[in-house]
Amino acid sequence: MKSKEIIIALGAAALACSNVMADSSAGKEACNGLPSHAELKNALISAVASESSGLDFDMWGTIVNRDGVVCAVAFSGTDRGAQWPGSRVISAQKANTANAFSLNGLALSTGNLYSAAQGTSGANAETMLGGSLYGLQFSNPVNPGVAYGGNPKHYGQANDPMVGKRPGGVNVFGGGLGLYKNGKIIGAVGVSGDTSCADHNIAWRVRKNLGLDQMQGVGGVSGDPARPDNIILDQYNGNGDGVTAGFEQPGCLNDASGDPRTLPAVQN
């Protein structure tokens, strides 16, 4: 390779590197006003300790801003191996999903999307038409370079490699909720590491602990103004017909303590 070509190649590489660094820096700056790593971790640990509807596992949590940029990633256990390793990226997917499909006037949790994204619905197999949002889970693929890049020893730390970047992804079971301040959505939180219902309940408590459930005038599909984006479980706040359709999900592992109607009301 000629010296001129080498110089051009090095210049291009340097420009690409500087663009990545600029994007990362811009992402971090865009997280101003959202919870820090320490705040997320403390809220997550407290929420896990308060929840008993699942397997009592430790959890991953991720916060994204309104552009889907990751602002913080944390875990509740003693180290990154104390909770399902696969749940780190799932928590980011959930945060991205809740942010991507919620508005100032309408909040949709990831749990609300379960039935609508299924291929079939209905009690009679001959009339199964599928969910109204079938295929949603394939609409915004995860960026594997962002989701799995960097040194794993930093996963869940303040310098997690996803911070400042947009991993994307869509997840359609419980655990993702929009973050609201003064009735306006500012991002979202996603948690993963237990059953779908427990994930939702823990995410709900994380949001409450962070004080970002200020949902004045925000609607939802739950039918409960005090919990507009609450998960809908057929046997509790659903229609009790034994079929998960519309915006319903199946029940929790521990039905005795899995009633979503007992979750704290949002700030109104």
How far is it, in rounded angstroms, from Cα 96 to Cα 137?
A: 12
Residue 187 DSSP class: E
**Full residue range of the structural domain in which residue 4 is found:** 1-30
86 and 167 together in one domain: yes
Query: So what's the pLDDT on residue 242?
Result: 72
**Would 90 be classed as within a structural domain?**
yes
The half-sphere exposure of 78 on its side-chain side, counting CA atoms within 13 A, is 0
Q: Give the Cβ contact number of residue 251 at 10 Å.
A: 19
- 3-state secondary structure at position 60: strand
Closest CA to 178 of 233, 224, 227: 227
**Amino acid letter at 250?**
P
Q: What is the pTM of this model?
A: 0.85
The token duo for 68 is 């889907």
How far is it, in rounded angstroms, from Cα 1 to Cα 174?
A: 55
Parallel, antiparallel or unpaired: strands 176-181 and 184-192: antiparallel
**Amino acid letter at 1?**
M
Low-confidence winner among 25-34, 134-143, 173-182 (lowest mean pLDDT): 25-34
Per-residue model confidence as pLDDT tens digits over 146-156: 999 999 999 99
175 and 66 together in one domain: yes
**Would 268 be classed as within a structural domain?**
no
Query: So what's the pLDDT on residue 139?
Result: 86
168 and 225 together in one domain: yes
**Would 267 be classed as within a structural domain?**
no
DSSP H or E run through 232:
strand 232-233
Q: What is the mean pLDDT of the chain?
A: 85
